[in-house]
Chains A and B, each alone.
Chain A
């Protein structure tokens, strides 16, 4: 329609580098430096001899660089157990969330049945119930089930939130209906259409849900604190870290090394999958419009 207008006019004008842009850069860099200072300082503190961490004036590098602190952490607490527990629970929890959310999302987003919208409304209503209302009765429930201090008590109770179902349903609704119709005409049942058509088309949404769910389980703190009482057996990384800090409160070198180790997995996930995540959060935010 406007093909006669040169592209350069439609695009934003190319502005020269002015003092404003320089100031903007300075502000960004200063903000970023202030922001990373705690993390960088924690990393270098993890490499110091313990008695130099609170030296005045503070230094970045102590009298020696002790990479061994990162190994010594594993000798002071069952950190390998914590890490493997966290990993197993996060993977199992994520699998449950994915199965439950995609199947329910499919029923709400693609199938037609009476009462669907009412049931969906009730589902969304459960999103309003905050965790702190649930944890007290949930612990009572775990006692009745005999599930206190069991792996399933860390996986199942918070794997059925309606959030994943909502996310999947929204995404599934956007997939053209004809694709499914064609498969149905060819005699494919809903299970086959779900597995072979809808799920493959929803890879990006499934990826976002996977990552957020995994991070949620990996970082979960309040519920494991309540339901686990044998940390050497079932302690997760956040719990282990908090216990470690209680037991070795004066060994700041080891606390920092352990903290850095705990941060690495999720930080890496975010750095590697940044595009997916940024898009997922942007979608969530814009849904607020």
Chain B
């Protein structure tokens, strides 16, 4: 796709100062809509959010500057903050590995010898693009005390399953399973693309050297796929720390606050309890956590991601 980049083509057009200035003016015209929009709808909110986090900022009524009071309140006295952070962390710890194992497994299964693999790929991708609310409602039906899962085990094995959505641990497990079902198709497609790009010469050389089965997978294929695994791990982790709709609709954060994650905490503080300043502070804490985790991943990648070949 890269034939001649602008940078390479540049020297040819040097020494045309007048035209250069004209081009700068034209560029300004082209970029103004994006620049104006990003300023109003991203830069201003970011600055505003920092300011809000330093205020007692109710949705209506008087605002009062309280310095880092909101942050102190979150870390020391707010009863729901630590559980929310813990819930987001637990969700991420369960969701990311499960998502990657399932999506990579499916991508490997859907190899070149499987007929109709394009159709299978699209099938596994569908819940990624259908409205999350609809996906969750379907699972809420399945997980009802007399839903499909319990109905099948009762009828077939006379086994009554726990009431999933009313049990603290089971509720979290089900939020994770539902989310894996919904979201893994995206990573699967990325892995499919990465697998198709594997250098056939290296695989063939490994085969000639006698690599087979598990050895072939763990010593050859997986290291070759490690850049894609790294990319999907980082992206999936970032999005799973921001989980909201699945627990909000499946369990309402409950039972108690057993499945109430950070974004739902932020949403509730801001729009149910009208504590906009506290919510803004919580959002910055979450942002810092995400940045920290991402930075850790980038540091760790030197040890296990292979970019050569």
> What are some 15 contacts across the A-B interface (CB < 8 A)?
A12-B112, A31-B106, A57-B155, A119-B31, A132-B263, A133-B283, A139-B276, A140-B52, A156-B37, A241-B137, A245-B249, A263-B130, A267-B130, A285-B189, A289-B307
Whether A173 contacts B194 in the complex (CB less than 8 A), given A100-B34, A137-B48, A190-B30, comes out as no
Residue in B closest to A286 when the chains form the complex, CB atoms: B193
Q: State the Cβ distance, B180 to closest chain A Cβ, in Å.
A: 11
CA distance A215 to B13 in the complex (A): 41
A99 within 8 A of B: yes
Chain B residues, CB < 8 A from A260: 134
B271 within 8 A of A: yes
Interface residues on B, range: 35 or more
Are B276 and A140 touching (Cβ within 8 A)?
yes
Which residue from A36, A39, A111, A266 sits with its C-beta under 8 Å from B27?
A: A111
Whether A256 contacts B137 in the complex (CB less than 8 A), given A31-B109, A56-B151, comes out as yes
CA distance A285 to B290 in the complex (A): 20
For the A-B complex with A38-B142, A41-B148, A119-B35 known, give 10 more contacts whose Cβ atoms are closer than 8 Å: A24-B113, A104-B34, A134-B45, A136-B49, A136-B279, A140-B52, A245-B249, A255-B141, A263-B130, A271-B122
Whether A112 contacts B121 in the complex (CB less than 8 A), given A103-B34, A126-B38, A241-B133, comes out as no
Whether A104 contacts B31 in the complex (CB less than 8 A), given A39-B138, A174-B3, comes out as yes
Which residue from B6, B137, B231 sits with its C-beta under 8 Å from A177?
A: B6
Interface string of A151-179 (1 = CB under 8 A from B): 00000111111100100000101111110
From residue 39 to 71 of chain A, which have CB atoms closer than 8 A to chain B? 39, 41-42, 45, 53-58
A114 within 8 A of B: yes
B171 within 8 A of A: no
Which residue from B13, B130, B244, B263 sits with its C-beta under 8 Å from A112?
A: B13
A80 within 8 A of B: no
Tell me what chain A mostly uses at the interface: helix, strand, loop, or mixed.
Answer: helix
Which residue from A36, A176, A222, A277 sits with its C-beta under 8 Å from B245?
A: A222
Are A100 and B287 touching (Cβ within 8 A)?
no
From residue 29 to 81 of chain B, which have CB atoms closer than 8 A to chain A? 30-31, 33-35, 37-38, 40-46, 48-49, 52
A197 within 8 A of B: no
Residue in B closest to A190 when the chains form the complex, CB atoms: B26
B215 within 8 A of A: no
Are B137 and A245 touching (Cβ within 8 A)?
yes
A→B interface (CB under 8 Å):
12, 15, 21, 24-25, 27-28, 31-32, 35-39, 41-42, 45, 53-58, 99-101, 103-104, 106-114, 116, 119, 123, 126, 128-141, 156-162, 165, 171, 173-178, 181, 189-191, 194, 215, 218-219, 221-222, 225-226, 237-238, 241-242, 245, 252, 255-256, 258-260, 262-263, 266-267, 269-271, 274, 277-278, 281-282, 284-286, 288-289
Are A42 and B141 touching (Cβ within 8 A)?
yes
Q: State the Cβ distance, A41 to closest chain B Cβ, in Å.
A: 6
Are A262 and B134 touching (Cβ within 8 A)?
yes
Whether A266 contacts B131 in the complex (CB less than 8 A), given A112-B6, A140-B52, A256-B141, comes out as yes
Chain B residues, CB < 8 A from A99: 33
Are A160 and B31 touching (Cβ within 8 A)?
no
CA distance A57 to B147 in the complex (A): 10
Chain A residues, CB < 8 A from B148: 37, 41, 58
Are B189 and A36 touching (Cβ within 8 A)?
no
Chain A residues, CB < 8 A from B205: none
Chain A residues, CB < 8 A from B28: 107, 113
Are A159 and B37 touching (Cβ within 8 A)?
yes
Which residue from B131, B227, B245 sits with its C-beta under 8 Å from A289?
A: B227
Chain B residues, CB < 8 A from A285: 189-191, 193-194, 228, 231-232
Are A140 and B48 touching (Cβ within 8 A)?
yes
Chain B residues, CB < 8 A from A104: 30-31, 33-35
CA distance A138 to B46 in the complex (A): 9
Q: State the Cβ distance, B38 to closest chain A Cβ, in Å.
A: 5
From residue 140 to 175 of chain B, which have CB atoms closer than 8 A to chain A? 140-142, 144, 146-148, 151-152, 154-156
